[in-house]
Chains A and B, each alone.
Chain A
């Protein structure tokens, strides 16, 4: 009677099979164990890896426009400085003019890149609502504005002068423009280092001191390289400046390599580390060696070495900006750095 309800012998064929299986199962009573728990993994939240290892920080939303802007700005700013000082020291007019052109081109391309990043031109105007000294971006935008007006004014005046001959208003414009482009070009060439240094991204803010210097040197290297490629490859001053920039960049690279702070890992490991090193080598040791080599080479060879150095410095400067952006993104993805700084903040009420 008892078993009748559970399994009716008149049941379907499959069910009869089940009855037999049951008997067999009872005989063995054993489940086959295939593996051990250690073999499975699943995410857990721990103080060591945080909340399932998910990043705490948001990575920067900036796309290619911004690192390119860093590059252009750096080169343009440095070019403006070179142009102005060359002018004041009475250097080659052609050099002054070319430097101005680079600065002017940069001051047109730069806002275009920013606008491309923002999506719509009128959005750029929102930047001009306020001036906030505590916001490097605000300071930077006003700097860009000053620089752009100065650099374009100088280049424009220069152009008109050449076309229609000199005149007093043009001279005034040219001088004022040049002065402005020098004054603003100096910060403009390196403020982007401040911009990312003053952030919550560990790999950036850990380098807040180095970044402006680094970016300035990188911009200088690129500006020099551009001028050299525009036909000033025999200019010794540029050569010296290029060498200086390359040496500084080499030193900067060594400094990064020498510091063992894990927050700097994105600069040394993985894809971002590779790009950083590539950029660093191209802006530092390579041009430094090429330029040093050029001192001891035949004239033709020396010029070719300088051209290579110029190319290398430009490429290095460009790659470096992308590398920092990449490293910033990588750094934001890493869970550990932002929580590593311990502080006794958890207040446990005293009873």
Chain B
């Protein structure tokens, strides 16, 4: 989550769902929260009932819109225009929370003279390398910035990777930064921002988003009026923002808005990233991603200087702020992995870690697989045959494997592609010729095993096992542990087996199936002292001399005593839920909460107090755990020039993971597609970019190839409509967990498409009957649901129709239907490598699809379409 990570320091929601009840306005954009987070939505309703204004900006009128005071329909993919216009509104109408912005953000910091904005270069920031198709971000740095790392351009290793930069960009030494507290310097961030967003006018919103000017202004007023010392406003988003070729920059725009309004670190404020699966936050904290290690420590890359721990640590640590402890976090992790085998002499086992050599993201290796470069694959808890973009390519690639292991609770499409997929139906694949050996292992479900979830608000909750898994079902922990054990037993003397030999792999097991104990794993994640095995209490206990082991530094404190598992605690003491579970870091429910007090340590207002300085006790106190050095008084001066660690930040810099301790309106490093958000059209869009002649995010990777084609980038007569995919409350993601359950299937039994009455008339679609939707990748059939909840938008003087499509169906289970992702292209946002699912081009016709030919062979070529 580098959007939040680079802006504030941590890649996690800044607030907690119950805190939404304290908001005076809530902007939900890029999510249908009522539908996809219905339980969390109770606090939104609570806020609304208390008088908060609820604004929903979404192409469709959803169940969330139905609850809102204001719904604004916007053309998918134009969020940055909308948010940019909000930012401009804040400037134009003097809504900037100056007393917050000056001390707590980098508004005053001065940029280099050679920095050029998209406004100057027609859609490019300075540093674009047309040859390499990427940015050299050198010029984005602050004036006087010194690089502490050894790599040439901070934050931009050759081989991809964005998650590791969640910690706020590569280390920079703030010693030489210059600033202008009056915010008048023409190159200070504040002025640059003002200029950058000056073209994002309400008129542009009307022309490009399709939102009438007055409607926009109404929403802008409602949102910005609910900010300031006495009030706060929150923003909630989910994949309606992230799954774009510029998703990170949309979130960045939200971060800028919230910083300018002073809404971060304060009750009822913040940005809530609504994360998807039950523990998806957990799976980035203790990552299932290829480019980071637990706690957002970057995975070492295969580079010329990557052999030495020293240079790795130097590159990623900072002199000031929390990242000064990088070596402590890292070495403690190595001690958790390798125990006594990790020694100072062998660089704590640094070289036992693999190196990232290229794009090993999902799509990266899947395309390798399609090209026959992969032999085997484990798929655990994922259903890419349905959930991943370009379904046809994904499934056909599976047929290139020698072996495939699928662990799931049901026979999912990924495991049955070889006999049940549309490719088999069409004769593109045949069970007779597919060489892939498929192993389907039964996995136990959540109720059949113990362990923790880390939910959307960084809250770890440990749940006990409710029932024993039936038959051969086993937990994933069991599978991975015993697989590791067997591999370890086979490790030979060869040097390539050294890591395996060194690995500690000694979790106690219990029961007749030798289930490893998840609480033992959690203890290791929490960390202990190597000498006496005592659990650690606090991140501050971590050491860089090998005396501590810790599986994920950010989780330190979750299991502070041998017999105290805070994730298991169930005594909620207050509205923020302290006493129920454990929120990382240090059980802070609202992070950066030092910002809830004025620089002098007093709350901004009585109504919005959260954390403050207690002059009697000489410490920070309040309604939440202070996300700050407890004993550093507000007036403690900063020693940015020469100090070390968090103490160098003094008493009034709330964003302690940033070396300068402030929130970043402008991100000098850590992002691949620019320091500021700029509007680009989606990779497939019905119109040209009206701001720059550069149409799309230049750093995005289209992965364009014959099996992954695109419609024309702006206006393709064969695909005149905008297509967006989304979820339904009644089904879950790729369907493995819902399409086998009758009580859910009866509620949404079939794939359908939502279209406006106008589009239905234009194309002759009939309510309740079939329609075929085509894109450059494929075709599918869906039942037609005509509804005025889908509005045709006026864009640039012409009508743009939208086609809505939920994506939950596949060919297995009780309720089957075509796979929406067969329509999508594999594409990669530059920072997190996510695909664009929310804005595409399509066509729609009445009738069912041709079951025999793949659409790519039926989409007319240009010559044919002219005839």
From A2, A31, A40, B693 is in contact (CB under 8 Å) with A2
From B130, B712, B785, B865, A4 is in contact (CB under 8 Å) with B130
B133 with A25: CB separation less than 8 A: no
In the assembled complex, the Cα of A34 lies from the Cα of B123 at a distance in Å of 37
B713 with A37: CB separation less than 8 A: no
B433, CB-defined interface residue at 8 Å: no
Q: Is the interface of A mostly helix, strand, loop or mixed?
A: helix
Closest to A19 in B: B712
A8, CB-defined interface residue at 8 Å: yes
In the assembled complex, the Cα of A34 lies from the Cα of B760 at a distance in Å of 10
A21, CB-defined interface residue at 8 Å: yes
B123 with A2: CB separation less than 8 A: yes
**Mask for B714-740, Cβ within 8 A of A = 1, else 0?**
111110100000000000000000000
B761 with A22: CB separation less than 8 A: no
- For window 4-60 of A, CB contacts with B under 8 Å fall at 4-8, 11-12, 14-15, 17-22, 24-26, 28-31, 33-43
**Closest 4 A-B residue pairs measured CB to CB?**
A17-B862, A35-B761, A42-B786, A40-B760
- For window 745-776 of B, CB contacts with A under 8 Å fall at 756-758, 760-767
- Distance to closest chain B CB from A207 (angstroms): 36
A26 with B715: CB separation less than 8 A: yes
B717 with A24: CB separation less than 8 A: yes
In the assembled complex, the Cα of A49 lies from the Cα of B636 at a distance in Å of 71
A31 with B865: CB separation less than 8 A: no
B761 with A34: CB separation less than 8 A: yes
B712 with A25: CB separation less than 8 A: yes
Q: Which of A5, A30, A33 has the most CB of B within 10 A?
A: A5
A21 with B717: CB separation less than 8 A: yes
A37 with B757: CB separation less than 8 A: yes
B695 with A6: CB separation less than 8 A: yes
In the assembled complex, the Cα of A2 lies from the Cα of B122 at a distance in Å of 9
Closest to A16 in B: B862
- Distance to closest chain A CB from B680 (angstroms): 10
Instruction: List B contacts of A21 (CB < 8 A).
Output: 712, 716-718, 862, 865
A168, CB-defined interface residue at 8 Å: no
A38 with B761: CB separation less than 8 A: yes
From B133, B695, B715, B760, A2 is in contact (CB under 8 Å) with B695
Binds A, one of B174-182, B212-220, B356-364, B703-711: B703-711
A18 with B862: CB separation less than 8 A: yes
**Mask for B689-706, Cβ within 8 A of A = 1, else 0?**
000111110100000111
In the assembled complex, the Cα of A25 lies from the Cα of B709 at a distance in Å of 19
Closest to A34 in B: B762
B704 with A11: CB separation less than 8 A: yes
**Mask for B434-469, Cβ within 8 A of A = 1, else 0?**
000000000000000000000000000000000000
Contact flag A22-B713 (CB < 8 Å), given A17-B861, A40-B761, A42-B787: yes
B863, CB-defined interface residue at 8 Å: yes
B696 with A5: CB separation less than 8 A: yes
A258, CB-defined interface residue at 8 Å: no
Closest to B701 in A: A5
In the assembled complex, the Cα of A237 lies from the Cα of B127 at a distance in Å of 114
- For window 65-115 of A, CB contacts with B under 8 Å fall at none
In the assembled complex, the Cα of A237 lies from the Cα of B714 at a distance in Å of 93
In the assembled complex, the Cα of A15 lies from the Cα of B756 at a distance in Å of 30
A: which residues have CB within 8 A of B?
1-8, 11-12, 14-15, 17-22, 24-26, 28-31, 33-43
Closest to A35 in B: B761
Closest to B787 in A: A42
Closest to B705 in A: A12
In the assembled complex, the Cα of A88 lies from the Cα of B718 at a distance in Å of 92
B: which residues have CB within 8 A of A?
122-123, 128, 130, 133, 688, 692-696, 698, 704-706, 709-718, 720, 756-758, 760-767, 785-787, 798-799, 861-863, 865
A15 with B762: CB separation less than 8 A: no
- Distance to closest chain B CB from A11 (angstroms): 7
A33 with B762: CB separation less than 8 A: yes
- Distance to closest chain B CB from A18 (angstroms): 4
In the assembled complex, the Cα of A97 lies from the Cα of B383 at a distance in Å of 79
Instruction: List A contacts of B717 (CB < 8 A).
Output: 21, 24-25, 28
A22 with B695: CB separation less than 8 A: no
Closest to A31 in B: B720
Instruction: List B contacts of A34 (CB < 8 A).
Output: 761-764
Q: Which of A8, A12, A14 has the most CB of B within 10 A?
A: A14
Can you spell out 9 A-B residue pairs with CB atoms less than 8 angstroms apart? A1-B128, A5-B133, A6-B713, A14-B706, A15-B704, A24-B717, A29-B715, A40-B765, A40-B766
Instruction: List A contacts of B862 (CB < 8 A).
Output: 17-18, 20-21
Contact flag A12-B709 (CB < 8 Å), given A1-B130, A40-B767: yes
Closest to B696 in A: A6
Instruction: List B contacts of A22 (CB < 8 A).
Output: 712-716
- Distance to closest chain A CB from B145 (angstroms): 28
Closest to B756 in A: A37
In the assembled complex, the Cα of A24 lies from the Cα of B865 at a distance in Å of 11
In the assembled complex, the Cα of A37 lies from the Cα of B799 at a distance in Å of 14
Instruction: List B contacts of A18 (CB < 8 A).
Output: 710-712, 716, 862
- Distance to closest chain B CB from A266 (angstroms): 26
Closest to A6 in B: B713
- Distance to closest chain B CB from A250 (angstroms): 46
Closest to A4 in B: B130
Closest to B856 in A: A14
B863 with A17: CB separation less than 8 A: yes
Instruction: List A contacts of B785 (CB < 8 A).
Output: 42
Instruction: List B contacts of A41 (CB < 8 A).
Output: 767, 786
Closest to B765 in A: A40
A12 with B715: CB separation less than 8 A: no
Instruction: List A contacts of B696 (CB < 8 A).
Output: 5-6
Instruction: List A contacts of B695 (CB < 8 A).
Output: 2-3, 6
Q: Which of A15, A28, A30 has the most CB of B within 10 A?
A: A15
B712 with A2: CB separation less than 8 A: no
In the assembled complex, the Cα of A6 lies from the Cα of B714 at a distance in Å of 9
- Distance to closest chain A CB from B754 (angstroms): 11
From A4, A7, A37, A43, B758 is in contact (CB under 8 Å) with A37
- Distance to closest chain A CB from B569 (angstroms): 44
Contact flag A29-B798 (CB < 8 Å), given A17-B862, A18-B711, A40-B760: yes
Instruction: List B contacts of A40 (CB < 8 A).
Output: 757, 760-761, 765-767, 786
Known: A2-B694, A29-B798, A33-B762. 17 other contacts (CB 8 A): A5-B133, A15-B710, A18-B862, A19-B712, A21-B718, A21-B865, A22-B712, A22-B715, A24-B717, A25-B716, A35-B762, A35-B763, A35-B764, A40-B757, A40-B786, A42-B760, A42-B785
B715 with A25: CB separation less than 8 A: yes
Instruction: List A contacts of B715 (CB < 8 A).
Output: 22, 25-26, 29
- Distance to closest chain B CB from A225 (angstroms): 49
- Distance to closest chain B CB from A38 (angstroms): 7
In the assembled complex, the Cα of A14 lies from the Cα of B761 at a distance in Å of 30
Q: Which of A4, A12, A25 has the most CB of B within 10 A?
A: A25
From B123, B694, B761, A39 is in contact (CB under 8 Å) with B761
Instruction: List B contacts of A7 (CB < 8 A).
Output: 712-713
From A5, A12, A25, A35, B698 is in contact (CB under 8 Å) with A5
Q: Which of B693, B696, B716, B762 has the most CB of A within 10 A?
A: B762
Closest to B766 in A: A40
In the assembled complex, the Cα of A3 lies from the Cα of B694 at a distance in Å of 7
- Distance to closest chain A CB from B654 (angstroms): 38
Q: Which of B128, B718, B761 has the most CB of A within 10 A?
A: B761
B709 with A15: CB separation less than 8 A: yes
Closest to A41 in B: B767
Instruction: List A contacts of B720 (CB < 8 A).
Output: 31
- Distance to closest chain B CB from A202 (angstroms): 29
Instruction: List B contacts of A39 (CB < 8 A).
Output: 761
In the assembled complex, the Cα of A1 lies from the Cα of B130 at a distance in Å of 7
- Distance to closest chain A CB from B823 (angstroms): 17
Instruction: List B contacts of A11 (CB < 8 A).
Output: 704
Instruction: List B contacts of A28 (CB < 8 A).
Output: 717
In the assembled complex, the Cα of A31 lies from the Cα of B122 at a distance in Å of 29
Closest to A14 in B: B709
